[in-house]
Amino acid sequence: MSFACGKATNFCYELQNLVAPSYGLPKFMHMYNRSWSAKVGRLDGARDKDTHALFDIIDTSNLCDSIGLLSLLPAAAPLLKRDPQSILHTDSLLLAAENPSETLAKLLRADIASVCLISGFVPVRHLLGTTTDNYGCDLILQQIDMSEARRQTQFRA
């Protein structure tokens, strides 16, 4: 088990560089030890161990609320195994659209089918016609003045 403290997207790009070093990460994309530091961070022992493998599940919690789904997808999605069971799980606590069916399109700022075609990743609800979203509870919570409503989206390769 390894721990990292820093910017999540830079960490993901550094892991991508370990998986495919020939891709060549630009200098400005490397993970640095701390803000305003010129010393590039290293993933200790990552080349010696099998820590640079691709993942079956990546849970990003509500990271897309702070950096946006369009920043999160290119950073985390390439780290998934190309397997039908691989999943990228995201949560959102922010209300992006009044109509729940428009939330994902609003977060992606594009047509969902177009983004799926370009990225190669598809939200589970568009594949299966099912969803893990629970909007009924959100309506009840809003009536008792709870401002946080949780939205979940799962992507598959």
Q: Is the pLDDT of residue 146 over 50?
A: no
Per-residue model confidence as pLDDT tens digits over 90-110 = 888 777 777 777 888 888 888
Q: Does this model's pTM top 0.75?
A: no
In a domain, 74, yes or no: no
What are the DSSP calls for the chain, one per residue?
Answer: -----S-HHHHHHHHHHHH-GGG---GGGS-BSSTT--SBP--TTTTTTTTT--BSEEE-TTHHHHH-HHHHHHHHGGGB-SSTT-EEEEEE-S---SSGGGHHHHHHTS-HHHHHHHHS-EEHHHHHS-----HHHHHHHHHTT-----EEEEEE-
Report the number of distinct structural domains present in the chain.
1
In a domain, 121, yes or no: yes
Highest mean pLDDT among 8-12, 63-67, 100-104: 63-67
pLDDT category at 72 given cuts 50, 70, 90 is very high
- pLDDT on residue 101: 75
In a domain, 40, yes or no: no
In a domain, 137, yes or no: yes
The whole domain housing 121 covers: 56-63+85-157
104 Cβ neighbours under 8 A, 6+ residues apart: 112, 123, 153
In a domain, 27, yes or no: no
Going by C-alpha positions, the residue among 126, 115, 61 that lies closest to residue 92 is: 61
Read off the pLDDT of each residue in 48-57 and give the average, rounded to a whole number. 69
Per-residue model confidence as pLDDT tens digits over 31-52 = 665 667 777 766 655 555 555 5
pLDDT category at 58 given cuts 50, 70, 90 is very high
